[in-house]
Amino acid sequence: MLRVLTRSADGSAGIMLGRQPVWCGPDGGSGLAYSHDPSTGTPGVTGSYLAGGSGAQLLAAGGTDLGDLIDTEPWGPGVREALRTAEAAFDWPAMVEFVVERGRLRVIRETPAPLHGAARLSAVAARYELGSLTPAQAVSLVRQQDVEQARSASTETHGLPVAAHGLGVSPGVATGTVVFSAAAAVAAKEDGERPVLVLTESKPQDLPGLLSATAVVTERGGRTAHAAVVARGLGLPAVAALVGGALDSYEACLRTPGGDVLRAGDEVTVDGTTGVLYRGGPSRRQIQHRPAVELPGWLDGALSGLPGISVRVNADSGEDAAAGRALGAAGIGLCRLEHMFLGERQQVLQRVLLSRPGPEMGEDLASIRAFLRAELTDVLVAMDGLPATIRLLDPPRHEFLPDLTERAVASAALDDPSDKDRLGIVRRLHEHNPMLGVRGVRTGVLLPMLTAIQIRALIEATLALRRAGRDPRPELLVPMVSTPEELDFIGDTMADVCAQLGTSRAEAGIPLGAMIETPRAALLASSIARHADFLSLGTNDLTALVWGLSRDDAERHLLPAYQNIGLLAESPFALLDVEAVGELARRVVHDARAVRPGMRLGVCGEQAADAVAVRFFAEAGFDYVSCAPPRVPLARLAAAQAAGCRGADHATATEEEL
């Protein structure tokens, strides 16, 4: 059975070489050899050798490229043979640590090579294509981060100023803040930062710092230096051997060739694939618009045949829907109508929210209906033949209103009665806790004509597409439900709209579902299931209410402080809170299916593409997860692995070894 290098307890990534006391005379030396390039996976011996030096010296400072020596030195064939037998034994690219003593080769250790990113994908692909791995086995060996590391990082570093060039010695891209010692990296990690550890070269005693780092940069060293080997073992992006870069330990800064000075705390981005160090990090926009992680063809093919929880896409436009579909999404899990209200349209909605019902509102409602119908048509066409869950307007009414503080300051300067009137409305509608206020279905109940117009746009788009011979499959999702009666209210509105359009709910055939995002909806899942055709768990809001924590406010101050003090390992918004939110999720599955066996249950929320969360929701019995388009391939990978883990011992064992 294939055994892959384990991340060992002390983080040494299995390297023994530096610890081996060896005598290295003029006819001796230390070496580290790989059967494949550890960054790209290309077959062929690579590595390095330090004549007359110890293993520790080799790891600290690097050596000569092994490729130049393997065919000329007397110990070359022995190293080749050791790599060949080790590779055959492991059925995996091999790494051999050796010393030469008085001209004689002594192999210290043979292990499977620690591979990440493209190298790992390539090793798995080779074995899959040879037929020595089944699709499920191959899929189980690929980790989400390998696929992410293998993709082009150009979008993320686009536009950032280059600080220095070096050697990419461990692939991947990461952004963080500069620290200049292992101790500073440990402290920064404890403070909730993402330290980029910049050293002259790393030594074994720097291990705690490497374990805390987000990326590593060494002024010296090379592909086989300690820092590079450990970084690859840990999957951290690393750049070594900076060209012209100089650490100034007196000033505690890194002087770059361009005359730039990087100091502790500065933000940098490390591209360990290309070997470039950038100043600064990607903007929020760049992070949000990360390009999709595309799967290699063989992996996409292997996944398609495997079982697993279904993966849908969160798509608010025809474009997103098409992108998600191309990446393998099995439908839309969440289409947010509020995302269709941008620019001028936001003003229209704001007028509706600020006005009292009356004839002057008709024009705005008609305009909303027209553009929603057009947008929904695009979405349904892109997802033709696959389910598309359309959610009624969800966010706090508050978000569509002018900011009270700004309005009040502006108003104080004016002396205009009609302005004061509008300020009065804003003040009246202002809520102290908008997340706990008029939002989701509540807005829909208070402004039924706004609900009706959304439903009408959806039904009109659907009926028109059907008449045109297409196969639209919309589902209507009701957000922020806390009582079954709210669902009935929307159902009744839907029936009214159908009647106005000369059809019926049965004929329109649009299932009605409840979003489970209040704890009450989760606790009352069996009652709500009786009134719904499907349920969709919203993990973001459910987490906020279960914890009594607003994400936006908490992630600015409170959660970092908690992580800092050690009260919390991870933000519950980043990593699914299995104990409490997960417990409610399991309960929803149990209670809903007890009432309606086979009821369709989905999950949407930012955690829905995370491997741990996907496995949790798959095991809990949900039918699908839904995530942003770029995350769809990773979610599909996690879904197939989760299914594999449940079925096959092989995959489980391998996963644990990783």
Does 604 qualify as catalytic in the annotation? yes
Among 293, 352, 554, 604, binds a copy of itself (CB under 8 A): 554
| Nearer Cβ to a copy of itself (57/563) | 563
DSSP state of 291: P
How many Å apart are CA 476 and CA 441, to the nearest integer?
12
Query: Min. distance of Cβ 564 from a copy of itself in angstroms?
Result: 10
| Nearer Cβ to a copy of itself (156/517) | 517
36, 116, 165, 226: the catalytic one is 226
- Strands laid side by side in the 253-255 sheet: 246-248, 253-255, 261-263
Query: Min. distance of Cβ 483 from a copy of itself in angstroms?
Result: 7
Q: Which residues, including other chains, have CB under 8 Å from residue 649's CB and lie 6 or more apart?
A: none
Kindly state whether residue 438 participates in binding a copy of itself, applying the rule CB under 8 A. Answer: yes
Task: Please identify which residue in the block is written with the tokens 């059925």.
Answer: 91
Site string for a copy of itself, 366-405 (x = CB under 8 A): --------------------------------------xx
Please compute Rg for the chain using Cα positions.
29
Among 81, 251, 485, 507, binds a copy of itself (CB under 8 A): 485
| Nearer Cβ to a copy of itself (431/619) | 431
Query: Min. distance of Cβ 487 from a copy of itself in angstroms?
Result: 10
How long is the chain? Answer: 658
Query: Min. distance of Cβ 334 from a copy of itself in angstroms?
Result: 18
| Nearer Cβ to a copy of itself (546/637) | 546
Among 292, 495, 558, 653, binds a copy of itself (CB under 8 A): 558
| Nearer Cβ to a copy of itself (84/442) | 442
Strands 267-271 and 276-279: antiparallel
Query: Min. distance of Cβ 358 from a copy of itself in angstroms?
Result: 18
Site string for a copy of itself, 583-622 (x = CB under 8 A): xx--------------------------------------
| Nearer Cβ to a copy of itself (430/631) | 430
DSSP H/E element including 345: helix 344-354
Site string for a copy of itself, 441-460 (x = CB under 8 A): -x--xx--------------
How many Å apart are CA 572 and CA 551, to the nearest integer?
9
Does 339 qualify as catalytic in the annotation? no
Is residue 608 within 8 Å of residue 617, measured between CB atoms?
Answer: yes
DSSP state of 166: -
Kindly state whether residue 567 participates in binding a copy of itself, applying the rule CB under 8 A. Answer: yes
DSSP state of 558: I
How many C-beta neighbours within 10 Å does residue 86 have? 22
How many Å apart are CA 118 and CA 42, to the nearest integer?
10
Among 76, 434, 491, 511, binds a copy of itself (CB under 8 A): 434
253, 604, 627, 645: the catalytic one is 604
- Closest Cα partner for 164 from 266, 216, 227, 239? 239
DSSP per-residue codes, 464-488: HHHHTT---EEEEEE-S--SHHHHH
| Nearer Cβ to a copy of itself (94/512) | 512
From the number of C-beta atoms within 10 Å of its C-beta (0-12, 13-18, 19+), residue 74 rates as: exposed
| Nearer Cβ to a copy of itself (140/443) | 443
How many Å apart are CA 15 and CA 304, to the nearest integer?
38
Is residue 344 within 8 Å of residue 442, measured between CB atoms?
Answer: no
How many Å apart are CA 121 and CA 241, to the nearest integer?
26
| Nearer Cβ to a copy of itself (169/584) | 584
Span near a copy of itself by CB under 8 A; candidates 245-253, 264-272, 460-468, 516-524:
516-524
* Residues in 517-546 that interact with a copy of itself by CB under 8 A: 517-520, 523-524, 527, 541, 544-546
DSSP H/E element including 324: helix 318-326
Beta bridge partners of residue 42, listed in sequence order = none
CA-to-CA dists, residue 88 to 133, 142, 198, 405, angstroms: 15, 20, 38, 70
| Nearer Cβ to a copy of itself (5/554) | 554
Strands 173-179 and 246-248: unpaired
Among 109, 307, 384, 562, binds a copy of itself (CB under 8 A): 562
How many Å apart are CA 18 and CA 21, to the nearest integer?
8
Kindly state whether residue 461 participates in binding a copy of itself, applying the rule CB under 8 A. Answer: no
Q: With CB under 8 A, what is the number of residues at the site for a copy of itself?
A: 54
**Letter for the amino acid at 299?**
L
How many Å apart are CA 346 and CA 400, to the nearest integer?
7
DSSP H/E element including 105: strand 104-112
* Residues in 403-422 that interact with a copy of itself by CB under 8 A: 404-405, 408-409, 412-413
Among 480, 510, 514, 640, binds a copy of itself (CB under 8 A): 480
Strands 173-179 and 195-199: parallel
Strands 238-240 and 167-170: antiparallel
Among 148, 260, 431, 496, binds a copy of itself (CB under 8 A): 431
Kindly state whether residue 547 participates in binding a copy of itself, applying the rule CB under 8 A. Answer: yes
Kindly state whether residue 553 participates in binding a copy of itself, applying the rule CB under 8 A. Answer: yes
Query: Min. distance of Cβ 544 from a copy of itself in angstroms?
Result: 6
Kindly list the catalytic residues.
Answer: 226, 604
Site of interaction with a copy of itself (CB under 8 A): 404-405, 408-409, 412-413, 431-438, 442, 445-446, 480, 482-483, 485-486, 489, 517-520, 523-524, 527, 541, 544-550, 552-554, 557-558, 561-562, 565-568, 577, 579-580, 583-584
